[in-house]
């Protein structure tokens, strides 16, 4: 099934969600996020889809949020959120609620990462159960809305990377605990789907209960409460004088955006 910004298909008991905005290096518009959620709903209801793989088109996983393409702005405005609590609720939906919903999706999920995985790209990958990456993948952590990063790689490492604002390789990401497996680019797809196929042969009931137990273990340490609290910190930063992180996303300009723009291409495809 083809949407506007993604595609969804089921092959050999594996649901495949493909981010499909290659012109913007799969920057995540609100429409894309709505479509990803719709695809997860399709996979949830389909007994044939026992595992879900999330990937990007064009050799890139995702360079982050859409920071101001015309189509992204138009879709956001068409949602009609009024200034105030409606705008906050909208922001929270797209930057926290959906990520937690996908993290708690009742079937195993895999992020198949190649190329850039920046900011919201990291958020999306981290919300999946397992991350497989090509050996050329690059990850960039930052002060993001869904702040799973201290949980993904540990507090001290998160501080080091976010303070410095530098890319890490797939090998580093695996060393730090974000990535499960690093694979040659030519083998990434076949190895990811082979693993997903093996998992799909297991009992759906056992897989679901195992996932629930592992997520409960993390929540017992405070994960869900911590990421929700962190969203409040992010919102406070947005309205701090001198910090240009406007909620609409049309004019957001971070120092890190300037630092790595040359690597990521157009600013519209840059993450935040």
Cα Rg of the chain (Å, integer):
18
Does residue 177 surpass a pLDDT of 60?
yes
Does residue 248 surpass a pLDDT of 70?
no
Classify domain 6-269 by CATH architecture. Answer: Alpha-Beta Complex (3.90)
Q: In the numeric block, which tokens belong to residue 234?
A: 């992010």
- Contact present, 153 and 176 (Cβ < 8 Å): yes
**58 vs 21, 26, 267, CA distance in Å?**
8, 8, 18
- pLDDT at position 88 is 93
Q: In the numeric block, which tokens belong to residue 236?
A: 């406070």
Q: From CA 156, how far away is CA 142, in angstroms rounded?
A: 14
Does residue 24 surpass a pLDDT of 70?
yes
For residue 152, give the nearest of 141, 163, 166, 143 by alpha carbon: 141
- pLDDT at position 82 is 94
> What tens digit of pLDDT does each residue of 64-123 get?
999 889 999 999 999 999 999 999 999 999 999 999 999 999 999 999 999 999 999 999
Residues in the chain, total: 272
Q: From CA 231, how far away is CA 91, in angstroms rounded?
A: 10
Contacts of 244 (CB under 8 A, 6+ apart): 251, 252, 253
pTM (2 d.p.)? 0.90
Relative to beta strand 51-56, strand 116-118 is unpaired
More confident position, 135 or 244: 135
For residue 255, give the nearest of 168, 169, 164 by alpha carbon: 164
- Contact present, 130 and 110 (Cβ < 8 Å): yes
């Amino acid at each position: 099934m083809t949407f506007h910004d993604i595609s969804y298909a089921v092959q050999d008991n594996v649901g495949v969600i493909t981010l499909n905005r290659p012109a913007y290096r799969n920057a995540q518009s609100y429409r894309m996020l709505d479509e990803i959620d719709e695809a997860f709903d399709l996979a949830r209801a389909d007994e044939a889809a026992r595992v879900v793989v999330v990937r990007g088109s064009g050799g890139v996983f995702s360079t982050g949020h859409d920071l101001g393409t015309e189509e992204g702005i138009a879709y956001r405005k068409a949602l009609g959120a009024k200034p105030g609590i409606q705008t906050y609720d909208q922001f929270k939906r797209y930057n926290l609620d959906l990520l937690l919903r996908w993290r708690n999706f009742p079937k195993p999920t895999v992020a198949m990462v190649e190329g850039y995985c920046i900011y919201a790209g990291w958020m999306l990958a981290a919300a999946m159960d397992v991350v497989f990456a090509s050996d050329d993948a690059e990850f960039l952590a930052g002060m993001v809305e869904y702040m799973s990063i201290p949980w993904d790689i540990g507090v001290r490492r998160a501080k080091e990377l976010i303070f410095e604002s530098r890319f890490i390789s797939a090998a580093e990401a695996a060393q730090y605990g974000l990535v499960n497996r690093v694979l040659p680019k030519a083998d990434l797809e076949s190895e990811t789907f082979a693993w997903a196929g093996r998992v799909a042969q297991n009992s759906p009931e056992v897989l679901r209960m195992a996932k629930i137990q592992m997520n409960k273990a993390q929540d017992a340490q405070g994960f869900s409460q911590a990421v929700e609290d962190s969203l409040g910190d992010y919102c406070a930063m947005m309205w701090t004088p001198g910090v240009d992180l406007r909620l609409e996303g049309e004019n957001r300009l971070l120092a890190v955006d300037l630092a790595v723009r040359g690597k990521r291409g157009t600013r519209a495809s840059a993450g935040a």
